[in-house]
Structure 1
Amino acid sequence: MTVTAPLTRTPAPQKPAHRDGNVLRWLGAYGASMIGDNIYYVALSWAAVQSGSPSQAGLVMAVSAAPRALLMLGGGVIADRLGPRRIVMAADAVRSVAVLGVAGLFLATRPGLWPLTVLGLVFGIVDALFLPAVGALPARVTGRDQLARVQGLRGLAVRLANVVGAPLGGLGVALGGPAAAFGAAGLLFAISLPLLMSLRIRDLPDDGGGESGAPAGNGLADGLRHIRRHSVLAPLVVVIALSDLGFVGPLNVGLTLLADQRGWGASGMGSVLAGFGVGAGAASLLLAVRGRVPRAGLVLAVTMGGGAVAIGALAFVPRLAAAVAVALVIGLLAGLSGALCGALTQTHAEPAYLGRVTAVTSLSSLGLVPLTMPLTGAAVGLWGTGPVFVASAAICALAGVYGLCRTPLRRAELPA
């Protein structure tokens, strides 16, 4: 039976988040789902390459992007209206059934590209609902003063999923083909369901609306109005969008081209990415253990500026060992600024609006920013890696400067 307790502005939980069984059950469900996601993408890419041409495989991999971007804002409305746990459970159930169904097809026959295309579309639609709901759920399982720790724990789960998921997907493909890998992903999605069902869910406050002073509404316009009128959230959304715009291209396409130019090879590129992952993981661990960072808004802007300098420097480092060290610094600074962005979003948005607020921030990173990847590749071809990394670093620096110039964000604090 679900136990509910009122969520107040200043709750006093008995345990910190990393020792709270309710939070740890949520973390287990989220981690299982994220590992399943990584295994799914390995299985999908392998099956698509084996079933069609490289261009067709690329289309299958990209087909989920359109519904995710188009439906994301509506997914935030649904998460706030119906409750995030219900949406997360439904999303993982649909993903489990869909992936296990495709696994069964690969066991029985060679189905070709059409089921993979349908599966990609299903995942795009489900992601548009899942991502906002995941952002809104922590406020229902712990107190406001623990949300920063939860953000750190969530970051650690993402890093673990990235490290563990892809190798498990590759192992599944090697041992049993796409059917085995799809089956493993489907089982992990299913594992999250009993953990989600066991959560103790807290009620929302009756006086939502925060700075606007108005009752929390159920529509998209109400959520956008909440962001626009909020002295911290409004500039924070801009900072997140700018940092994603400057960060994603260089650390994806740009890094691949840089490693090729330097002669580092795939293993060298993997070492640089590992350095970034270690730094970002350390930043998430810091937030998970400490629970808050004093003067969070100021630290956010300063670390974003420092990370921008490191991003620009990466293109001019000739040796692999030095590049790994610079990547570790990027991961630490960018990881801390990213974790603080998430923590400030979680603690300053009214819980009744968190689905819509998460949808807006996720739309910029998952809907618009991926468009910079082909542009980054084309720009490197025209001007080389150095100018492109410097331009990307300038955009990240602009995000930090903007954060410093907006006084409410610069003075923003995490709950004690």
Structure 2
Amino acid sequence: MTSTLIAPGTAIGKPAHRDPNVLRWLAAYTSSMVGDSVYYIALSWAAVQQGSPAQAGAVMAVSAVPRALLMLGGGVIADRFGPRRVVIGSDLVRCAAGLSVAALLFLTSPGLWPLALLAVVFGTVDAVFMPAVGALPARVTTRDQLARVQGMRGLAIRFASVVGGPLGGLAVALGGAAAAFGLAGLLIAVSVPLLISVRMRESAVDDQAEVDAGGADAGDAGEGASGRGAASGAAVLGAPGSEARGVTATAADKAPARVTTPLGDLEAGLRYIRAHRVLAPLMLAIALGDLGFVGPLNVGLTLLADERGWGASGMGWVLSGFGVGAGAAALLLTVRGRLPHAGHVAGWAILAGSVAIGALAFVPGVLAAVGVALLVGLLAGLSGALCGALLQTQADPAYLGRVTAVSSLVSLGFAPLSMPLSAAAIGAWGTGPVFVGSAAVCGLGGVVALCVPDLRRAELPG
């Protein structure tokens, strides 16, 4: 008799918001994100104090280069060594770098070079940190709780953005940039013991018997390279995209472990995404949605507020409306844990959100703009959380770091390129046409989600 590596689909864990293991992970993630927010305040303040505005802008932007160039490699590292190890190592490096610069600023005035070096270090570490952070939830909870975890993660991000800014400003006011860097390092350091205490799901457990995916569905890939061989029937017995299900322990034990190179792992991950019936169109929908969203809601909103005479306070209220809407969407998923017809709902939410983005350029006053921004935040937060949960549940855990890396590269590497393009286009044609054009691009993401049958019918486990 042979026993299967895949457990019955009836394995259901605790609700994530009541699971101490998940709450420890959430506390670690929140502390790290608040530390990040304080770090950016400290870096921007120190750069302005040490150099010209142009030099300060260059220091703030330099971290984006290694992040974009190394992100895909970071996904390979997360899958090879396990996401928890990578996140712990990343936080240790970021903590040490921040505290070192804090000590340097406290003792002397070194100029811009240590700030630029710190930005490069953070950007390089982010390239491995972000894919690992995205792959970690699947290792600390069951599949049926991943949507709720996405909601909890969204609430943590909102909390960090609300608390981190004032906390960083207070640290700068009391002790200068050195104190703010020190505070950022300590907040990031808090996450390390919390992450060490988080228990990983070490056995390959599939909490859903059937998943409409292009590859074999399997459980935890383990915390190191040794776990990758047994984590996935596709990874052991065939190429990504095979339909292997229910692989027996005997068959897995007999299968020879394949030695792969990092480049081979990266190519395998890209092939896996391209061949996947849900992930491939999902990546396209995410890319289109982000490209149409980032420009208007960043540089476009600033130019719109200036054009309408809303001022900085009016723009702040509009951004607050967006934040409240996004927080409400995260809270909804945290409480509900699952929404039925996830692919369908995500597609319509992207479409409706694109209409709201286009309408933002034509509202008559600040109050109406706040209401529209709240709607944009709610719909964008809902679609983003659902897309993230679908990515988590559809991807084979053996590939999840690489899948997250591709998604992060789209959102954080390519989408920000739309900001200077949006600014130039608004200068040439005005806010209305550019907001409408961006809304059309964003809406194409919803069209993709609704027109691809496998993505439209995709469900979250529950």
Shorter-chain TM range is: over 0.9
The answer to whether 1:394 aligns with 2:440 is yes
Backbone CA RMSD of aligned residues: 1.5
Structure 2: gaps of 5 or more residues: 205-218, 220-229, 235-239, 245-251, 253-257
What's the offset of the Cα at 1:207? 4.9
Question: Which residue number in structure 2 is paired with residue 229 of structure 1?
Answer: 275
Helix, strand or coil at the partner of 1:212 = coil
Question: Which residue number in structure 2 is paired with residue 141 of structure 1?
Answer: 140
What's the offset of the Cα at 1:329? 0.4
Question: Which residue number in structure 2 is paired with residue 80 of structure 1?
Answer: 79
What's the offset of the Cα at 1:186? 0.2
The answer to whether 1:255 aligns with 2:285 is no
Q: Which moved more, 1:143-152 or 1:248-257?
A: 143-152
What's the offset of the Cα at 1:137? 0.6
What's the offset of the Cα at 1:251? 0.3
Paired residue type of 1:302: W
Question: Which residue number in structure 2 is paired with residue 34 of structure 1?
Answer: 33
Question: Which residue number in structure 2 is paired with residue 411 of structure 1?
Answer: 457
* Aligned equivalent of 2:414, options 354, 368, 378: 368
What's the offset of the Cα at 1:229? 1.4
Question: Which residue number in structure 1 is paired with residue 178 of structure 2?
Answer: 179
Give distance in 2, aligned partners of 1:185 and 1:254: 30
Give distance in 2, aligned partners of 1:8 and 1:37: 38
Question: Which residue number in structure 2 is paired with residue 312 of structure 1?
Answer: 358
Taking the TM superposition and a 5 Å limit, the aligned residue runs for 1:241-280 are 241-280=287-326
Paired residue type of 1:164: V
Paired residue type of 2:310: W
TM-score normalised by length of structure 1: 0.96
Question: Which residue number in structure 2 is paired with residue 52 of structure 1?
Answer: 51
* Contact preservation (8 Å) 1:212, 1:226: no
What's the offset of the Cα at 1:7? 8.0
Greater Rg by CA: 2
Give distance in 2, aligned partners of 1:45 and 1:67: 19
* Count of matched residue pairs: 411
Paired residue type of 1:213: E
After superposition, the C-alpha distances for 1:316-336 in whole angstroms (9 at most, x for unaligned) are 012100000000000011110
The answer to whether 1:356 aligns with 2:390 is no
What's the offset of the Cα at 1:75? 0.3
Give distance in 2, aligned partners of 1:212 and 1:400: 28
What's the offset of the Cα at 1:228? 1.2
Give distance in 1, aligned partners of 2:421 and 2:8: 44
Q: 1:213 to 1:365 in 2, by over 3 A?
A: same
Q: 1:8 to 1:24 in 2, by over 3 A?
A: farther
Q: Which moved more, 1:211-220 or 1:246-255?
A: 211-220
Q: Which moved more, 1:189-198 or 1:103-112?
A: 103-112
Give distance in 1, aligned partners of 2:30 and 2:268: 31
Q: 1:110 to 1:414 in 2, by over 3 A?
A: same
The answer to whether 1:212 aligns with 2:242 is yes
Give distance in 2, aligned partners of 1:355 and 1:237: 14
Helix, strand or coil at the partner of 1:335 = helix
What's the offset of the Cα at 1:173? 0.6
Q: 1:39 to 1:65 in 2, by over 3 A?
A: same
Q: 1:289 to 1:7 in 2, by over 3 A?
A: farther
Give distance in 2, aligned partners of 1:7 and 1:383: 57
Q: Which moved more, 1:214-223 or 1:103-112?
A: 214-223
Q: Which moved more, 1:378-387 or 1:225-234?
A: 225-234
Structure 1: gaps of 5 or more residues: 1-5
Give distance in 1, aligned partners of 2:460 and 2:374: 26
Question: Which residue number in structure 1 is paired with residue 249 of structure 2?
Answer: none
Give distance in 1, aligned partners of 2:76 and 2:8: 22
Give distance in 1, aligned partners of 2:434 and 2:8: 45
What's the offset of the Cα at 1:288? 1.2
* Contact preservation (8 Å) 1:11, 1:143: no
* Contact preservation (8 Å) 2:103, 2:178: yes
Question: Which residue number in structure 2 is paired with residue 89 of structure 1?
Answer: 88
Give distance in 2, aligned partners of 1:10 and 1:349: 17
Paired residue type of 2:394: H
Question: Which residue number in structure 2 is paired with residue 3 of structure 1?
Answer: none
Give distance in 2, aligned partners of 1:9 and 1:350: 17
Paired residue type of 1:240: I
Paired residue type of 1:59: A
Q: Which moved more, 1:368-377 or 1:211-220?
A: 211-220
Helix, strand or coil at the partner of 1:248 = helix
Paired residue type of 2:149: V
TM-score normalised by length of structure 2: 0.87
What's the offset of the Cα at 1:368? 1.0
* Contact preservation (8 Å) 2:288, 2:441: yes
* Contact preservation (8 Å) 1:16, 1:146: yes
Residue identity over aligned pairs, in percent, reads 70
Paired residue type of 2:454: P
Q: 1:105 to 1:351 in 2, by over 3 A?
A: same
After superposition, the C-alpha distances for 1:357-378 in whole angstroms (9 at most, x for unaligned) are 0000000111111111111111
The answer to whether 1:108 aligns with 2:107 is yes
What's the offset of the Cα at 1:9? 7.3
What's the offset of the Cα at 1:212? 2.5
* Contact preservation (8 Å) 1:65, 1:367: yes
After superposition, the C-alpha distances for 1:222-275 in whole angstroms (9 at most, x for unaligned) are 111111111110100000000000000000000000011111111111100000
Give distance in 2, aligned partners of 1:8 and 1:340: 25
